Structures are given as C-alpha cells and as structure tokens.
A and B are shown apart, each in its own frame.
Chain A
Amino acid sequence: MAKVLMKGCEAVAEAAVRAGCRFFAGYPITPQNEIPEYMSSRMPEVGGVFVQGESEVASVSMVYGASAAGVRSMTSSSGPGISLKSEGISYLSSTKLPALIVNVSRGGPGLGSIQPAQCDYYQMTKALGHGGFRLMCFAPATLQEAVDLVYNSFDYAERDRNPVLVLMDGCLGAIMEMVELPEMVEPDRKKTKAWNMSRFPDEKRPGKGLSPVYPEFVLEKENAARGQLLKSWEENDVQVEELFLEDAEYVIVAYGISARVAKEAMLKLREEGFKVGMIRPITLLPFPKKSLRNLDYNRVKGIIDVELAIPAQMHDDIALEVMERAPIYDYGRSGGMLFNDEEAYDAIKKIITGGAQ
C-alpha cells in the first residue's frame, strides 16, 4: 500500500479506526488535541461514535460503558489528563474490559508544560491508579511504529481482557512522517462474548453483570490471576530493539523520541570508533529485562540511560537488571526542554571519555 504523509496524532487515530475502533471519548488537552479532533469527524464516517466528554474522568467512563457493549473503544490524553483517567482505567482493569489509552506526554508534574517530555514513565509502568493493576505499555519511536503498535493494541487488550497503553511523547504526536496505513479490519464479535453486554441477534440468556466490586476471596484469586498475566507478558510479549550489543562497551538505553535522537549520536560515535550499542524498549511493560540482564559485563563498561526526564525514571528498572555490574549514567532534558543529536553526541561522548560524573 502507498505511503501517506500524516501528522502523528492523526496517524494513530486512523490506525485505531482501521483496527476496528468504533468508540472514542476524549477531552481537550495539549499536545493530543488532534486525536479527538480527527475522531470527531472520522467516527461518524465508519459508523462509530465520538463523544467529547465533560472531563477526562467522564471520558474514560464512557469508554468503559462502550467497551462493555462490545466495541473496540479508545481514549487519549496527556499526563495531567491521564492522572484523571486513572480512576476509570483502574475500573476497566478491575472489570476486565479491553480498551486503548494513548498518552501523548508533556512536561510535568502538575500542569507542567505543553512541550514534549517523558516524565510519565513511572505513571505508565508502575502505578497508573489505585489497586495494583498493571497494563501493557508500548512506546513507539517512529510514526510507522506508532501506527503498527496502535493497530495491534486491541488484540492484546482483548486477549488479556485488560486495557493497553500507548505512550508517545509530544514530539511523536506533532511530527509529520510517511506512514503505511494497515488494512481496515472488522473485529470478530464472537471473541467479545465473555464481556460483551450488548445482546447478540437472537441471543437468549439470563441477565449478566460486570462489576468492579468483588467478594474478598474472589478478589484475591483475581489479583493472583493478574500476577500470572504479568509473568506471561515478560515471557512472551517483550518487544525490544537491540543495536550493536555484540561489541558494545557502552550501552544506551532509551525509548521513544529519545531513542531516535540518541541513535543518531550512537551512529556518529561508532564512526569515530567508539563501541556504543543501544537497547530500545518498545514495550515499557513488560520491560526488556533479559536484554539488560544478559549483557556481557566483562565487556560492558557503562549503561547510559537517555530520557526526556530528570531525574531519569527508567533508571530503576535498568538498575534492577544491571545489578551493579556496570555504572549507570543518566543523560536527558526535562520539563519540555529537548536535546538534539549533537547535544546527545556531546553528552554521551563525555560520559564515555570519562568527563562526566
């Protein structure tokens, strides 16, 4: 299929539509406004529903209601709005309803800034809301990857009966790139039967309920089942890009736009003879633990965590796998300030040549 030039937010919205998303509810917040704007006119074209909610809190609850009606449903926001959606996402996870939540992240905490940042790593991977639920979290670095991950996200959400997160920073939401859009699919409604509360044609069944409240002994079992799910993600669903790990003495760990910029710096450093490699988590949860754990630490002299977040938030996950076998250096900007490839090159070179702490 021919490639088309699209803006990030619009491309992921179209990818969701092509994956069969037929319900979108959202609330304005920069830098993701182009997603609801696009959906407001696109949804009616494909027989879907768009609702501009009165808040993020309400929007995610609308997604919850629509998902219970068996349609692929989506909402999007940015950090401050994701905080508000966390209530509804906890309920989605509790009632085991699939949904897609896209975070086009910006600077924080608080209202922060509207410029791109990666300061929602903890929020997205550790404790998005109350109750200890976890969601798969994808972090694309290019628009094509964002389109593909969003397109596949509903399959994961329905397989696991759990919402799925896509974390794309404000850069990715705003850039324009050539993308190849996937085919329009018609989701198999039969697969939704376990949670679908709409009535199938001629369906004869007693009333059924979906409830976010459980008797204690059932809830304990549900919690345990979710623990097993987390383990299965780590065994089966890790996605990671590994570059030059066979000879790397320094390994950059970065995701999303940071990885994309740091990759340019890495290539320049390699031209100069520095043995630099990269681990780029595509799934932040499950985190690519093995990539870091199994590095040859007789050769690797240092790990360089590059993020648009200060302090670096992925650092802790890296440290758990490195286990003090090599020093971990952090480089990045924060608050909506960015770095370019030359700045990243300078900073990484300084670390490698011993000029940095």
Chain B
Amino acid sequence: MAKVYSRPQSLLPVPSGFCPGCLHSMAIKLVGEVVDELGQLDNTMHIIPVGCSTLNLLYWKGDNLGSAHGRAPAVATGFKRVCPDRLVFAYQGDGDLASIGLAEIIAAANRGENFTVIFANNSTYGMTGGQMAPTTLIGQKATTCKMGRDPQTTGYPMKMCELISTLDAPAFVARYALNTPKGVNEARKGIKKAFEYQLAGKGFTFVELLINCPTNWGMSPLQTLDYMDTNTIPYFKPGVYKDKEAEV
C-alpha cells in the first residue's frame, strides 16, 4: 500500500508542545510540507520570534535563529542580505508582529526585503496567558480587557495584510484561515507561492494565517473553529491582498 501522508521531513519527530487543538501545529506543519515539496530544508533559515511560536525551535529540523520580541524581520534582513540564496522566513505571532514589532515588519516590507514572513494571528498573547493583542476582536475578552475589547479606549484590531498591501515594495500579501480543510489547502498554496517568489528574488512576501487559541479563548477546539467563522473571518477577511505577478 502506498504511503500517502506522513509527518513533514522538515519537522523533527518529536511531540508537539502546542496546546491540544491549537492551530500553530497546523501552521508550522504547512510550512514544513511546503519546504519538503520544494526540497529546500537544507537551504532554509527559520527566524524564531518570541511568543508561542518560539516553540518552533523545538520542532524545526533546519537552521533556526532566535530573535528578540518583534525583531524577527530585522534579524532576517541581516541574515538574508549576507546570504541572499538562502530561503529565509520569519514566523511571527500577532503580539510579536503587530504590536512590539510593528516598526520592523513595516520597514522590512517597505524595503522589499527578499524573505517571507508567516504571520500566525490568533488574536491573543498566548504564551503570556491571554492578554489583549493588537488583533483582539471588538468585544473579545482577554485578561487585560476582562469585559471585552472596547474600541473607545483600545482602538480596533490591526489589519496587517491591508496595511502592508498599501506599500509599493511587497510582492505577495495574503491571508488564509486555518479553521477549515479548504482554508488549510489554500494556505499551503499561498505559502508555496510566497516561498517560490522569494526563491525567484521577487521581494517581500507576507502570509497571514488566522488561527485559534483554545486555551486563552476559553473554548473547546471545536468551539474556536466556529468562533473563527462567525467572528474572526468576517473582520479579518481572507484573500490575496497583493500579488505583483498577477498585476502584470
């Protein structure tokens, strides 16, 4: 019988430390599958951020370099400029990327740095225990907004794909939701496109993956998938926000 599915070779054969039902596992698995498919494991450099996704350093089989909170795009800039042939990607959460690292992500995107950022957006600070993130939805509860996010005092969720796609330099900007098999398949294609663009030297590529956080949302994994359908996706609309190739 032919083997049709297995763990990606790009991930180490160790148990995942992400919480049960957390889609971070899915997100890094997709990256691994794409790197497998492109035969690029030895060539990748995974820039590790700060947050739940720091755990990737335990799972990623290829080279990885830890960075300070929010600084992954700057670290990636330094590395990629010296090693232009490497497949460099940062994998950042929403607190890391859309709050403390806002300057770094926007500036790297605006310079058109030739690397990829995978943006795992779960609307919360997972690792520190569920504080309000820049991407926390209106009304969504967090440990620092116990009555739910109030836009009068905390503003509105940051739409990073929309922001970054206003810049001239980025080559590919897209958002996918991982709460359905369809979304997962589309995300895999999007990640592959981003990596292919990078390998072809087309410039900055940005893939936002909407994920969940059963632990800090205080829901069962299944409930989080429904919550994403009714709350997350209507606000953070999936789609391709910029594709330089398609524009031509």
- A residues adjacent to B (C-beta < 8 A): 22-23, 25, 49, 51, 53-55, 57-59, 61-71, 73, 87-88, 91, 95, 197-199, 206-213
> Judging by beta carbons under 8 Å apart, are A198 and B81 in contact?
no
Is B219's beta carbon under 8 Å from chain A? Answer: no
Binds A, one of B55-63, B166-174, B207-215, B237-245: B55-63
In Å, the complex CA distance between A210 and B66 comes to 6
Is B177's beta carbon under 8 Å from chain A? Answer: no
> Judging by beta carbons under 8 Å apart, are A55 and B66 in contact?
no
Give the dominant DSSP class at A's interface.
mixed
> Judging by beta carbons under 8 Å apart, are A68 and B107 in contact?
no
In Å, the complex CA distance between A65 and B86 comes to 13
Q: B48: which of A49, A61, A211 is its contact (CB, 8 Å)?
A: A211
- B residues adjacent to A (C-beta < 8 A): 41-43, 45, 47-48, 54, 57, 60-68, 71, 74-83, 86, 103-104, 106-107
Given contacts A61-B74, A213-B66, contact A54 B81 (CB under 8 A): no
Task: Please indicate the chain A residues that have their CB under 8 angstroms from the CB of B107 in the complex.
Answer: 53-54, 58
Q: A197: which of B48, B60, B76, B79 is its contact (CB, 8 Å)?
A: B79
Q: Smallest CB-CB separation from B45: which chain A residue?
A: A197
Task: Please indicate the chain B residues that have their CB under 8 angstroms from the CB of A211 in the complex.
Answer: 48, 57, 64-66
Q: A66: which of B47, B81, B86 is its contact (CB, 8 Å)?
A: B81
> Judging by beta carbons under 8 Å apart, are A66 and B82 in contact?
yes
Pick the 10 closest A-B CB pairs, nearest first: A65-B78, A54-B107, A61-B74, A69-B82, A62-B78, A65-B79, A66-B78, A211-B66, A207-B62, A61-B71
How many whole Å from B59's CB to the nearest CB in chain A?
11
In Å, the complex CA distance between A95 and B75 comes to 13
Task: Please indicate the chain A residues that have their CB under 8 angstroms from the CB of B41 in the complex.
Answer: 207
Task: Please indicate the chain A residues that have their CB under 8 angstroms from the CB of B64 in the complex.
Answer: 207, 209-211
Can you spell out 16 A-B residue pairs with CB atoms less than 8 angstroms apart?
A: A54-B107, A58-B71, A61-B71, A65-B81, A69-B82, A69-B83, A88-B71, A198-B83, A207-B62, A209-B60, A211-B48, A211-B64, A211-B65, A211-B66, A212-B68, A213-B54
> Judging by beta carbons under 8 Å apart, are B67 and A91 in contact?
yes
Q: Smallest CB-CB separation from B54: which chain A residue?
A: A213
Given contacts A62-B77, A209-B57, A213-B54, contact A68 B71 (CB under 8 A): no
Most buried by B among A53, A70, A209: A209
Given contacts A70-B82, A207-B64, contact A65 B75 (CB under 8 A): yes
> Judging by beta carbons under 8 Å apart, are A198 and B82 in contact?
yes
> Judging by beta carbons under 8 Å apart, are A208 and B81 in contact?
no
Given contacts A55-B103, A197-B79, contact A64 B67 (CB under 8 A): yes
In Å, the complex CA distance between A329 and B146 comes to 57
Q: Smallest CB-CB separation from B79: which chain A residue?
A: A65
Q: B65: which of A59, A65, A70 is its contact (CB, 8 Å)?
A: A65
> Judging by beta carbons under 8 Å apart, are B67 and A61 in contact?
yes
In Å, the complex CA distance between A88 and B45 comes to 19
In Å, the complex CA distance between A198 and B81 comes to 11
In Å, the complex CA distance between A51 and B68 comes to 19
Most buried by A among B47, B57, B78: B78
Given contacts A207-B61, A209-B66, A213-B54, contact A58 B48 (CB under 8 A): no
> Judging by beta carbons under 8 Å apart, are B65 and A210 in contact?
yes
Q: Smallest CB-CB separation from A66: which chain B residue?
A: B78
In Å, the complex CA distance between A57 and B101 comes to 10
How many whole Å from A83's CB to the nearest CB in chain B?
15
